[in-house]
Structure 1
Amino acid sequence: MQLHKIEAGNFMADGGAVFGVVPKVLWEKKYPCNSSNYCNLAMRCLLVETDDRLVLIDTGMGNKQSEKFFSYHHLNGDDSLEKSFLALDVRFEDVTDVILTHLHFDHCGGAVQKNGQGGLKLAFPNATHWLSEAQWHNFKQANVREGSVYFDENIQPIVDAGKLNLLKQDAWLTEDIQMRLYHGHTKGQIIPFVKFNGHTLVYMADLIPVMASIPEAWVAAYDIEPLTSMKEKRDFLMEALENKYVLFFEHDLYNECCYLEKTERGITHTDSFKLTDILS
């Protein structure tokens, strides 16, 4: 098995939304923001290569929305799905599976692209796309808070192509890739657990979006059920500490991975490191 980080670009989000009720005087010591209170966030995907499968976890925001839309989210940086795949000498057509942790636009937008005629096409035409049934129903009957982050064009072409597979419960994609469901951030968020070389790497998605969000009460304002988020995080942190999981962050621009450790003040992170540090 081989693991590759896939950088899909950066965007900016309000720090108060990223850290919820945590006062700025506390969170800005751990994650920087600009003078407008915006934090720069990564869209870091993961490509898992096994003997017979090529699995992509999340796809970033993509590039098919309007310039006005992108201006709201302050896209920045030189990274993209295309550049990251090109650097690995891998084609989109080679991907066999795409795990969509959930359908918020910054996680799934890159799965569908514009074609040459102004229509839409699947970015990964040969891949089965995995989504939880709970998230699909949540998308179809979006609440007032999530309605603005769900877009039909990010998922309907996948449905029309017969390439969407819905999970009803936790499941194993392969003997080394488990997909677990969490419900605090949004209903049925998939969190992938990947076993490799004696390690277990957990793709954190929006369960813990950045390393600074590890403390149990540091829950984003985006989370639909914050009390559920805190319980899920507490349970995960205890499990991750006991089993020495590697936490791989999707949105932390400055920290890719960390382990956890127990201190007098509770469970916290070790120094961060890059994915390549453990692969070598």
Structure 2
Amino acid sequence: MVDGGVIFGQLARTQWEQFIKPDRRNRIRLGLNAVLVRTPGLNILVDTGAGSKRMVELKADYSLNGNKLTKGLKSFGLTARDIDIVVLTNLQFEHSGGCTKLDRTGAAIPMFPKAKYLVQKASWEAANSPNERYAQSFYEDDFEPLADRDLIEFVDGNKEIAPGVSVRLMEGPSRGNQVVFIEYGSERIIYAGDLIPTPFHLPLHHIPATAEFPNDTLVQKRELLEMAMGDGWMIVFGHGNDCNAAYVQDRGGVPQLVPVEV
């Protein structure tokens, strides 16, 4: 759970509490959503959630109720060793914490030992030299053990990482933030991550206080929504809770959600 003011930025509580109710500490519940993409010959994971290394701390601060990533993979008949590629939309702990786990000695080791971890070069630089505003967003043990084992693959801009799967640099939320585009048959999916974190962030001016470049966030959101409405892309929200994914229809110039179970 996260403070509602952080999630909705300049939007007043009297406005945002009309569509989502906070608890007595002004917090709202968010999801930490990862996506599994299965292509011929590849299992690709997009984001990993906060992981379990700091569960006591995260439960106290955010009421985090457990890491379900491994259980989710098991439901598809997969283990962590079956993942070939991990795409990280950014390296903040709620996206990259599940990249590593603690071994019996308490050292952080890769959760997905056979995978390559795809990170934007700018995101890596931001995580390794954060300013005072973002210093608490990163933990070195989420990603340094990957670099120590040469498991990091840097991306510099837009790139197709597998047939039908591409990343696009969209840095409104944070330096080096990337959005994932998936095309399979007639299906088109955008993993929007922090750019459109929840379905309540469809209005262009609903921008989290954490956005590093809020004006760029607005412009990039408009671009994604126009794509989604014009070409039938499904949007997966990085932090959606009750609604994790939806198609977006144009209703007189106003985006309207059509929720989808994923």
1:54 matches 2:43: yes
Find the aligned partners of 2:82 and 2:58 in 1 and give their Cα distance.
Answer: 30
Question: How big is the shift at 1:66?
Answer: 6.0
* Residue from 206, 224, 240 that aligns with 1:236: 224
Find the aligned partners of 2:105 and 2:85 in 1 and give their Cα distance.
Answer: 26
Q: Deviations over 1:179-227 (max 9, x none)?
A: 1111111011111101123021011110100001011110000101111
**Structure 1 pair 255–66 and aligned structure 2 pair: CA distance change class (3 A):** closer
TM alignment of 1:176-195, pairs within 5 A: 176-195=164-183
The answer to whether the Cα contact below 8 Å between 1:211 and 1:269 also exists between their aligned partners in 2 is no
Which residue is equivalent to 1:68? 57
Question: How big is the shift at 1:86?
Answer: 2.1
The answer to whether the Cα contact below 8 Å between 2:42 and 2:84 also exists between their aligned partners in 1 is yes
Which residue is equivalent to 1:128? 116
RMSD: 1.4
Find the aligned partners of 1:273 and 1:24 in 2 and give their Cα distance.
Answer: 28
Give 1:135's aligned amino acid: S
**Structure 1 pair 79–118 and aligned structure 2 pair: CA distance change class (3 A):** closer
Find the aligned partners of 1:178 and 1:148 in 2 and give their Cα distance.
Answer: 29
Find the aligned partners of 1:177 and 1:31 in 2 and give their Cα distance.
Answer: 33
The answer to whether the Cα contact below 8 Å between 1:194 and 1:200 also exists between their aligned partners in 2 is yes
Find the aligned partners of 1:250 and 1:167 in 2 and give their Cα distance.
Answer: 20
Which residue is equivalent to 1:209? 197
Q: What SS does structure 2 have at the residue aligned with 1:137?
A: helix
TM alignment of 1:134-213, pairs within 5 A: 134-213=122-201
Q: Deviations over 1:62-102 (max 9, x none)?
A: 111262343111112x6511221222221100100000110
Find the aligned partners of 1:218 and 1:230 in 2 and give their Cα distance.
Answer: 8
Find the aligned partners of 1:66 and 1:215 in 2 and give their Cα distance.
Answer: 33
| Gap runs ≥5 in structure 2 | none
Q: What SS does structure 1 have at the residue aligned with 2:112?
A: coil
Q: Deviations over 1:33-72 (max 9, x none)?
A: 2122111111111111111100000000011126234311
Give 2:12's aligned amino acid: P
Give 2:155's aligned amino acid: L
Find the aligned partners of 1:196 and 1:256 in 2 and give their Cα distance.
Answer: 19
**Structure 1 pair 82–260 and aligned structure 2 pair: CA distance change class (3 A):** same
The answer to whether the Cα contact below 8 Å between 1:260 and 1:267 also exists between their aligned partners in 2 is no
The answer to whether the Cα contact below 8 Å between 1:158 and 1:164 also exists between their aligned partners in 2 is yes
Which residue is equivalent to 1:26? 15
Give 1:23's aligned amino acid: A
Which residue is equivalent to 1:269? 256
Percent identical across equivalent pairs? 24
Give 2:204's aligned amino acid: E
The number of residues matched between the two structures is 262
Find the aligned partners of 1:113 and 1:123 in 2 and give their Cα distance.
Answer: 6
Question: How big is the shift at 1:267?
Answer: 3.1
Question: How big is the shift at 1:24?
Answer: 1.6
* Residue from 1, 16, 27 that aligns with 2:5: 16
Q: Deviations over 1:15-40 (max 9, x none)?
A: 11011111122212222321221111
Give 2:140's aligned amino acid: D
Instruction: Give me the TM-score of the superposition, normalised by structure 1.
Output: 0.90
Give 1:63's aligned amino acid: S
